[in-house]
Homo-oligomer: A and B are copies of this chain.
Amino acid sequence: MAGSTYGTIFKITTWGESHGKGLGVVVDGCPAGLPLDRSDIQNFLDRRKPGQHRYSTQRKEGDRVEILSGLFEGRTTGTPISMMVRNTDQRSEDYSKISSYYRPGHADYTYDEKYGFRDYRGGGRSSGRETIGRVAAGAIASKLLEELGITITTYARSIGPVTMETFDREEISNNELCMPDAQAAAKAQQYLEDCLAAHDSSGGCVECIVHGMPVGVGDPVFEKLDANLAKALMSIGAVKAVEIGDGISVAAATGLGNNDGFTIDEQGHIIKTSNHAGGILGGMSDGSDIILRASFKPTPSIYAPQKTVNQDHEPIDINIKGRHDPIIVPRAVVVVESMTALTLIDALMTGMSSRLSNLKTIWGKH
């Protein structure tokens, strides 16, 4: 079915393949009146652009975005915002070989079984380039959140076995790996060199902190804020686990250790005394920072020899060529941030009508 649309009121639809004419997104439902220009989008896209460092694919794409609709005199008009990035550095000949067999860890086999055939060039729609549309849309969602005083900080928490031990927000943009800990980043770089030498690749973990969320965003039952965030993050290729707050460690915890007490701050506001819950209670934001983690599997495209089968159902040995990232985590940071932003803004918008008094506030003005 149609699987390329995300959101209820703030709705995005992405399109495009790795080696097609380009990739893009239509953002529908963006409120009118947001100041926006091309650089807001481009800055986000530049954070996921390939070819920026030694650990990302050497494909050279400018990934220059064009805004095709939805803006007038520097502001969003409330109509769909269509954005497009043209592909320029496809080298489809690299991929002619893979048309006949199924790469381990990739979606080649499942695409063929679902659709009967596939656009095999560069992974087609299953390429990481699919996230261009998500990030372009995420830039707009993030800007809306900023207008409401909500900010998101995202970084690589771990690369392979190397986990951050200190947190310095400034450091995130200082190193190529987007880690908030310079020492860990240095260790991780050494680890990646070892992976490269072994023709291997590495997994990692991205963490995301949302600050400034109002209380009561998200809906009980199926549309819980954490449920939607889990979907958002798990929908990113290569993510195999999503955690909120203390995550998997809650399974071994006890109630006394895990419960967050409430108290009153100096301004008289209710706050929690701890944040094991990661900012969400009963599916609704509780005013504390929202804390998310996504675990990424290692890039499946590796240079080391592997065993697989071809479309004629014959076992074969393969050596994958092409231009691949030995680690996708640093480039995935902005994708996680974008999916988080998209989920939050939609929850804020759908949540406006939870009280009759809110309806009266908005429609009484008219």
Q: Mark the stretch among A41-49, A50-58, A99-107, A170-178 that contacts chain B.
A: A99-107
* Complex CA distance for A14 and B169, rounded to whole angstroms: 40
Q: Does A322 reach chain B (CB closer than 8 Å)? A: no
Q: Does A77 reach chain B (CB closer than 8 Å)? A: yes
Interface of A, helix, strand, loop or mixed by DSSP: mixed
Residues on the B chain within 8 Å of A202, using CB: 253-255
Question: Given A1-B350, A106-B282, A258-B298, A224–B220 Cβ distance below 8 Å?
Answer: no
* Complex CA distance for A14 and B277, rounded to whole angstroms: 25
Residues on the B chain within 8 Å of A216, using CB: 110-111, 113-115, 366
Question: Given A113-B366, A363-B348, A79–B124 Cβ distance below 8 Å?
Answer: yes
Residues on the B chain within 8 Å of A33, using CB: 115-117, 355-357
Interface residues of A in 253-270 (CB under 8 A from B): 253-264, 268-270
Contact with B along A1-37 (1 / 0, CB 8 A): 1111111111101111100111110101101111000
Give the interface size bracket for A toward B.
35 or more
Interface residues of A in 156-194 (CB under 8 A from B): 158, 160-161
Q: Are A24 and B110 neighbours in the complex by a CB distance under 8 Å?
A: no
Question: Given A107-B284, A255-B302, A304-B256, A20–B262 Cβ distance below 8 Å?
Answer: no
Residues on the B chain within 8 Å of A144, using CB: 356, 359
Q: Does A242 reach chain B (CB closer than 8 Å)? A: yes
| Other A-B pairs beyond A3-B220, A261-B307, 12, CB < 8 Å | A1-B29, A15-B80, A31-B358, A105-B255, A111-B220, A116-B357, A202-B254, A241-B243, A246-B297, A253-B298, A255-B299, A273-B307
